[in-house]
Structure formats: structure tokens, C-alpha cells
Amino acid sequence: MDPEELMVEILTESVEPAEGAEYVDLSFKIINQRGSKWDVLVRAQGRLLGEDMDQECQVLVKIKRSVCPDCSKYASGYYEAVIQLRADKRHLDPAEKEIADSILKSQLQKLVEKNRMAYLVDRVEIKEGVDYYIGSYKAARSLVNGLKDSLGGVVGESPRLMGRDKSAGKDLYRIWISLRLPSFQKGDFLDHADSVGRVINLDGRGILLEDLESLKLHALPWKDYPQLVKVADSDMVKKTTVTSLTPHKIQILHPDTYEPLDLDLKPYMDDFKIGGEVEVVEIDHRIYVLKKDERN
């Protein structure tokens, strides 16, 4: 608020009209300014016991400028937590960084309505990933949950002693919260329980894997992540041609050597046609023919 507007509001609230006064109208005029001290002429007009009244008095107003504790912390770059966005055994994908930035921006706009410490102090991009410096630890926890809901991954925390608040008699900590995204992404291939599956989706609840042999879907929780091994990237998928079809077999050409390969015909191959293109992936010297609806 403008200082003069604030002065008018405070003085108006401070005036107490005499008992029986009617139609009281107040006006204020600054007649002298000496730094933070203002001489203000207050004029009151109205009616008292049937008589018109017009009175003036001079008031000294002192302007004291201050900043609330939260705003002071924001201005000084204060932060309670650092969100470390990382990827396991790989670099973060540019799309993952863009998604994370968008999520944090959107969530902070909502969080700051109830938590004035929910602000981003800094965003630092390093070789290992991205660090987000957040004013409030509580806000940082909420932000990490939002990131995990969208990107998946494993969360860890590491408090670090930064000093001691002598007035409160307690230690001061900053919390480093890591969100480590998995070594694989949607469309990659994993070895799980002696079978190979393709990642159909992943989010904060877990990983959805489709077995390449049985085509059964498996929802795996993140606690199973250490047992998952990536055996092929999505960019290893190649196209080849169907050269023959029988009631029980399908013949395709090896995508690299063009050698004819006879494979068992699966139910999802019913609409494959001779001369048509199909997608395949080679894992451990074995060729898997992928479903049509999995093509990009």
C-alpha cells in the first residue's frame, strides 16, 4: 500500500467522533515532511447537537518501514531444502527437465497461496542433473511428490547441519531431497524374473511392464526397482519384412543380416501380412516381434 494511503487509513481508524456527532467528514493534508516524520493537518467537519462544526488539529505521523520475516528470508535467498533431480546410470533427458520445470512452476503457484515460503530461490543445472533450491522444506516435500507422481523414481533425504539458532536453542538443518529417476524410460526393455518385458508406462505408483512372450501386464512397485535390469533401449527397435506365414509359423528377415527367421505365430500376429513391415527387437541374440499397437 502507498504510505499516504496507509496514513489515511490508520488516522481514520484512530478518530473517535464525540457522542452525538453526525455527518462526520475527515480530510488529511501533509504540511511538512522531515524524513520519516510527517506533520499532518487533520480536519473534521460535521454536526454536533444541531450545530455545524469544523475543527482542525495537527498530528505527528512516524513512518517505520520494515519487512515481514518471510519476505526478509525471500529477499536474502534463504532456503530450507534442495531438490536434486537425477537419473540412475544416465543423463537426464531434456524432456524430463522440461516436465520437471513445468510441474514445479505450476505447483509453486498453488502452494504459495497457503505457504509464503513456497518459492524457488534458484535452479542450478549441473552435469549430474538439476538442483532446485526451495524456501520451505514442507513445500519441497510436496513438490517432490508431484514430480514422482509424473516421472516415477525413488526418493531419498539427507539432512545437513548448517548452524544453531541461539535464540531458540536448536540446531538448524537444510534438507537435500533426491529424486532419482530410473535407468530406463517408457519403451525400454527390462529383464524381470527371468522374462523380458517392455515398459508400457511408469509413474509414482510403479512400473507397468508387458511380457514379450505372454503379453501379460505386470504392475511392479518401486521397491522392486533394484531387481530390474535394462536389456535394450527403445531406439533398438527396428523394422523388417514378413516373408512367409503358415498357421503356426511366421517368417521374417533379420533386420541386419536379412537372414530368414522362422518364429512361432502369436495371436496378436493374426493381421500380419506377407510383405508387410513389422517391428522387432533383438535381445541376447533373440528376435522378438512386437505388437502393432506398440509402434511409435
Torsion on CA atoms 272, 275, 279, 281, rounded to nearest 10: 110
Question: In Å, how far from its chain's centre is CA 36?
Answer: 44
Same domain? For 9 and 84 the reply is no
Q: Do residues 8 and 57 both lie within one domain? A: yes
Domain that holds residue 221: 189-233
176 and 264 co-located in one domain:
no
Q: Are residues 194 and 251 in the same domain?
A: no
Domain identity same for 147 and 77: yes
The answer to whether residues 54 and 122 belong to one domain is: no
Say which residues have a Cβ less than 8 Å from residue 178's Cβ, sequence separation at least 6.
Answer: 83, 84, 86, 155, 156, 157, 158
pTM flag (> 0.75): no
pLDDT tens for residues 186-206? Answer: 999 999 888 999 999 999 999
Judged against a pLDDT cut of 90, whether residue 254 lies above it is answered with: yes
Work out the average pLDDT over 290-295. Answer: 67
- Give 250's pLDDT tier (boundaries 50, 70, 90): very high
Which pLDDT score is estimated for 95? 94
Query: Are 81 and 162 contained in the same domain?
Result: yes
Residues 128 and 147 in one domain: yes
For 204, other C-beta atoms within 10 Å of its C-beta total 15
Overall average pLDDT of the 207-213 stretch: 94
Is the per-residue pLDDT at 291 higher than 90?
no
What is the predicted pLDDT for the residue at 296? 43
Residue 294 banded pLDDT, cuts 50, 70, 90: very low
Mean pLDDT of 174-190: 95
Q: What is the pLDDT of residue 127?
A: 93
Which pLDDT score is estimated for 168? 63
Task: Clarify whether residues 253 and 174 are in a common domain.
Answer: no
* Statement: residue 157 has pLDDT above 60: yes
Question: Using CB atoms within 10 A of its CB, is residue 199 exposed (0-12), middle (13-18) or buried (19+)?
Answer: buried
**Residues 241 and 229 grouped into a single domain:** no
Give the HSE-up count for residue 21: Cα atoms under 13 Å, Cβ half-sphere: 15
Q: Are residues 176 and 274 in the same domain?
A: no
Residues 207 and 111 in one domain: no
The three cell numbers of residue 152 are 516415477
Could you tell me the CATH number of the domain that includes residue 278? 2.40.50.140
Weakest mean pLDDT among 62-66, 132-136, 225-229: 62-66
- Grid cell 519441497 in the structure block, residue: 140
Number of domains, the chain: 4
- Which triple of cell numbers denotes residue 98? 522440461
